[in-house]
Amino acid sequence: MRNKTIISLLLPIILLLGSCGQAASPQQQSSLDGPRSSSLNAEGHAGGTLDMLAGGSEKAVRKIKPMDNYQLQRKFPDILYMTGPSDQPVAALTFDDGPDQRFTPQILDVLKKHNVRGTFFVMGSRVKGHPEVVKRIVEEGHALGNHTYWHPQLYNESLYRLKWEAEETDKALQEVVGFKPKLFRPPYGGLTDELVAELGRQDYKVIGWNVDSLDWKEIGADEILSNMESHLKPGAIILMHSGGNWDQDLSGGVEALDRLIPELKNRGIDLITIPELLDLPDRK
């Protein structure tokens, strides 16, 4: 009896929380299309909330890939990069979807402990929400890249939406750290010909990855490390996350990072930023 009462009290709360975690409905999505800037809202709710990824959690979306990024890389070799040079003992750690108050500070602590620098692809909405964390990223010598404002599935949106997402994020970064980044990473790694060409016109360098930690699956450190094991070679661009959907637990990734860095050092691989690895400027 008592259990039943507790469940009936909790049920409305559970339902409410569940609805926050879902991807935007088709109606919500379509309201974001088109050229009217009034349908896009940098402050509020048209695109999502600070704790959500507008295009859905990585778990829900990553199965679908619009195009093979290696094919695109061959077509746009001066715009899209998937790896660094393999003839030098270096690799780059990259962290998507921050900044947040939960995991980004922990990732920064681990990097500091090992005296290593990485590259953070940040969301504009979260830059506005947590400016002090972005400042810390820059002060501690890490590189920054643009990861859109609300994290939509760009390949299902208009080029207007891409332009808006990129520009609003650049503006947010300009306000907080005083520069616009040269690097861009698309949410979910989802790209098309048109998107890469447009990003090139907007003077970005688009950064993919060739080592996926799969930390967004909320797995433990052992599994994350074994996912990466066979790919950890010179020139690697390693994908991890320093934030996520509001309901994601990335603590396995934090622990994995703490073990990964000494392991790479043992193998003689130096960890450097994406601008260093690819010999690119870090800002426009």
Binders in 14-73 for Zn ion, by CB under 5 A: none
Instruction: In whole angstroms, give the CA distance from residue 189 to residue 206.
Output: 10
- Options 130, 147, 151, 241, the catalytic residue: 241
For Zn ion, the binding residues in 69-108 under the rule CB under 5 A are: 96-97
Name the minimum Å distance from CB 97 to Zn ion. Answer: 4
Instruction: Rank residues 32 and 90 by Cβ distance to Zn ion and give the closer one.
Output: 32
Using Cβ positions, the residue closest to Zn ion within the complex turns out to be 96
User: Is 241 assigned a catalytic role?
Assistant: yes
- Catalytic residue, candidates 51, 96, 97, 282: 96
Instruction: Give me 108's structure tokens.
Output: 């920064």
The residue count for binding Zn ion (CB under 5 A) is 3
Contacts of 167 (CB under 8 A, 6+ apart): none
Q: Which residue has the tokens 């990129």?
A: 166
Tell me whether residue 216 or residue 269 sits nearer to Zn ion (CB atom).
Answer: 216
Residue 163 C-beta: closest distance to Zn ion, Å:
19
State the minimum distance, in angstroms, from the CB of residue 69 to Zn ion. Answer: 14
Closest distance of CB 245 from Zn ion, Å:
10
Phi (first) and psi of residue 239, to 5 degrees: -95, 120
Distance of CA 193 to the CA centre of its chain: 21
- Contact characters 107-136, Zn ion, x per CB under 5 A: ------------------------------
Residue 163: strand, helix, or coil: helix
- Whose CA is closest to 220, among 249, 243, 247? 249
Q: List Cα–Cα distances, 254 to 42, 105, 111, 119, 183, in angstroms.
A: 30, 10, 10, 15, 24
Q: How far apart are CA 60 and CA 106, in angstroms?
A: 25
Q: In the chain, where do the E strands start and end?
A: 80-81, 90-98, 119-122, 143-146, 183-184, 205-207, 211-212, 237-241, 270-271
165 touches Zn ion (CB under 5 A): no
- Please, which residue, 97 or 168, has the CB nearer to Zn ion? 97
Tell me how far, at minimum, the Cβ of 48 lies from Zn ion, in Å. 13
- Cα separation, 223 vs 92, whole angstroms: 20
Q: Which stretch, 63-71, 79-87, 181-189, 264-272, contacts Zn ion (CB under 5 A)?
A: 181-189
Please identify, using beta-carbon distances, which residue of 195 and 269 lies nearer to Zn ion.
195
Q: Which of 48, 181, 187, 235 binds Zn ion (CB under 5 A)?
A: 187
Give catalytic residues, as residue numbers: 96, 241
Kindly list the residues in this chain that would bind Zn ion in the complex (CB under 5 A): 96-97, 187
